Structure 1
Amino acid sequence: MADIGGTNARFGWVDGRSEAVQHVRTLSVPDFSDPAAAAQAYLAQLNTLLGSDFQPPHRAAFAVATAVAGDRIELTNSHWSFSRQQVQSELDLQALLVLNDFEALALSLPRLQPTQWRAHGAAPLHQGTLAVIGPGTGLGVAGVLQTSAGWVALASEGGHATLAAGDEFESALLARVRQDFPHVSAERLLSGIGLPVLHGALADVLDQASPPLSTEQIVALGLSGADPLCAQSLDMFCALLGSFAGNVALTLGARGGVYIGGGIVPRLGEMFFASRFRERFEAKGRFRSYLEEIPTALITDTLAALTGAALAIEQYRQA
């Protein structure tokens, strides 16, 4: 299986005797013409490693950072464009599953081990309906539902839902952002592309001078305490993320738990757990008690999507 983004493609192997993903390798997307070439390079490495124990795969699953529909797959942030049928043929596979990367991440949730996540309060239940929200370059949202036929991923474009204000200050903040963007989605502020927008709007609302900063700079300066405005931007980011996560939990009925993935929040460390995230997650008026019982957790394993891809293959085989 593979987890394919704009920069890196992570490949892993399941031998059928265990659910665990093994022999994970990360290959650079720009180094290969398409996923078939990268997969062939990975399999060649694996053949050398395993020797006589190596057997060519019969099934594969690719989790890709783009919308999936039809045979043609166009990756949003890389040069890779491919036909599912052609790649399946080139790799001599009986089946090739292609799913959105957040579908795969959602499917990983039921199998995550305690070493792969950190609870923000009570531990997740791993049953019923679960949700995952991932602030990375963009903002991914997905769910997974437990059924009698197995776990079913619920793909969505929830990151583009309208972001709501929780108080008058946030109303002023969003009004400032709307001067530049007619529609202020959750992704507009709660993502790698959004944190600089949030920081700039916060500076304007507070009438503070601040140069444009990248997400990396805002995180570094905010965590170090070197820049109070950056620290306030991170606090606002966590508060708005908590409010949005509570909306997702209510919308999906995700009483088994809401997970936070993506690349930004793990970098915040203890600041995230000391932030207003959980307070705002629960701040839903008459439904506070409903939200208080829903666990939240941070996914700390960057390879979790491979576990979800492995489950997709297993369920396909059993269907």
Structure 2
Amino acid sequence: MQNSAQKPEQDQSRKETPSGTSAAPQDIVAADIGGTHARFAIARVENGTVTSLEDPFILRVADHDTLQDAWHAFGRQAGRPLPAHVAIALACPIQSEVLIMANNPWIVVPADLPRDLNIEPPLFLNDFEAVAHAIASLDITCLPHLCGPDRPLPADGTIVAIGPGTGLGTASIIRRGSQTLVCGAEGGHTGFSPFNDFEDRLLHRLRSVHGRVSAERIISGPGIIPLCAQLAQDTGEAWRDLGDKQLWTLALEGHDRLTREAMSLFCQALGGFAGDMALAHCATGVVVAGGLGKRLMDILPTSGFADRFIAKGRFEEMMRKIPVRMIHYPEPGLFGAASALARKLAHTS
């Protein structure tokens, strides 16, 4: 079954190859490898755009020893020969001959994959770089308003993409006239900056365990564990030794006071981090994505996110002018990876 790709913000349906003739449609594979799940899908591309994206095949990373094992499981599920052109988004920097992910035990050697998988040399990109490619292409209807001015993302300037999930991803979209450049980043591994007394205590708790404390330690799925533990210590409540998935379920159900308060503090910390990233990049737009961003879509607009986003001292008025949106699309990582490869194929054909 195929899903039609969403209409791009700017009409790219008439793009042509450098020779001036339209390129024939072709199938490609998009893969989005995160800390917990690996997603694969076959996409159809034509003239530099994604025209359809099939339903994804999703598997747990922990159930497979290598990317190659997961690929072969996908091939068996597909029941047909897989396309030779592949885009692979990975939750790590794409800067070496051996790719090691922070929240995933797989080790990927790009030079081995063409031989092991019988494919062309893949296009590799950071997982949030792929999400940023999706943001750059999707229609405004897929990017609902979160806070700030309710207007489209700017046609000129820098847009920062941020997403909490198993980790904390960041990327940027730089628009200059008709040119768009997408850059992956590792902003989630910058140091956590506390805003108030509670976050000071939280930082002290985490520093005693980890030494250096990155923003990802708090602003990610597992971050709800230390948030709840610190709240329990502050209030004298009994601490329940639950995993982050159980705690998020309780928080989103809204009946448990401690986890509900932890979720509120999480939204505030996310807003502060988003504002810091926007300030660091002199951004003219921000988009919140990620697995947790999606789950919190109905909560973030009425949380403390917006107040913490703009709380940047002398730059508060500038922060108020930045449109902040969310992404509402089933598989932005897969769509973005496919979009990046579609453009590459169009330019090289």
Structures share a fold, TM > 0.5?
yes
Instruction: Work out the CA distance in 2 between the residues paired with 1:215 and 1:254.
Output: 32
Contact 1:174 1:184 in 2 (8 A): yes
Counterpart of 1:52 in structure 2 is: none
Q: 2:314 aligned to 286, 294, 309, which one?
A: 286
8 Å contact 1:176–1:205 — kept in the other structure? no
Task: Work out the CA distance in 2 between the residues paired with 1:117 and 1:206.
Answer: 38
CA contact (8 A) 2:134 2:335 kept: yes
The secondary structure found in structure 1 opposite 2:250 is: helix
Gaps of 5+ in 2: 1-29
The Cα shift of 1:140 comes to 1.1
Partner of residue 23 from structure 1, selected from 48, 54, 78: 54
* Secondary structure of the structure 2 residue equivalent to 1:294: coil
Return closer, same or farther for 1:285/1:265 CA change in 2, 3 Å cut-off.
same
Identity fraction in percent: 32
Whole-angstrom CA distance in 2 between matches of 1:276 and 1:78: 31
Aligned: 1:132 with 2:167: no
**SS in structure 2 of the partner of residue 212 of structure 1:** coil
1:197-236 to 2 correspondence within 5 Å?
Answer: 197-236=226-265
Given that residues 146 and 300 in structure 2 are in contact (C-alpha distance below 8 angstroms), is that contact kept between their aligned partners in structure 1?
Answer: no
| Deviation at residue 189 of structure 1 after TM alignment | 0.8
Please give the residue correspondences for 1:1-319 in structure 2 after superposition, counting only pairs within 5 Å: 1-5=30-34, 6-16=36-46, 18-28=49-59, 30=63, 34=68, 36-38=71-73, 40-41=75-76, 44-45=79-80, 57=83, 59-75=85-101, 80-89=106-115, 93-121=119-147, 122-127=150-155, 128-147=157-176, 150-255=179-284, 257-317=285-345, 318=347
Higher mean displacement: 28-37 or 307-316: 28-37
Q: Which moved more, 1:24-33 or 1:139-148?
A: 24-33
Where 2:55 maps in the other structure, the secondary structure is: strand
Give SS of 2:192's match. Answer: coil
Distance 1:305 1:106 in 2: 8
Letter in 1 for 2:44: V
The Cα offsets for residues 92-138 of structure 1, whole Å up to 9 and x where unpaired, read as 54542111111111121111224433211324415321111111111
Alpha-carbon RMSD: 2.7
Q: Aligned pair in 2 of structure 1 residues 222, 81: CA closer, same or farther (>3 Å)? A: closer
Residues 92 and 102, structure 2, Cα contact 8 Å, conserved in 1: yes
Cα distance, 1:91 vs. partner?
5.2
Whether contact under 8 Å (1:173, 1:202) holds in the other structure is no
Deviation at 1:57, TM superposition (A): 4.0
Q: What is the CA–CA distance in structure 2 between the aligned matches of 1:181 and 1:76, rounded to whole Å?
A: 15
Aligned amino acid, residue 8 of structure 1: A
Comparing 246-255 with 154-163, greater Cα deviation is found at 154-163
Paired residues in the alignment total: 309
The change in CA–CA distance for 1:281 and 1:309 in structure 2 (over 3 A counts) is same
Gaps of 5+ in 1: 48-55
Distance 1:31 1:296, change over 3 A: same
In the superposition, the TM-score normalised over structure 1's length comes to 0.85
Q: 1:89 to 1:115 in 2, by over 3 A?
A: farther
Q: Which moved more, 1:267-276 or 1:281-290?
A: 267-276
Asked whether the equivalents of residues 113 and 121 of structure 2 are also in contact (C-alpha less than 8 Å), the reply is: no
Q: For the residues of structure 1 that align with 2:243 and 2:288, how far apart are their CA atoms?
A: 22
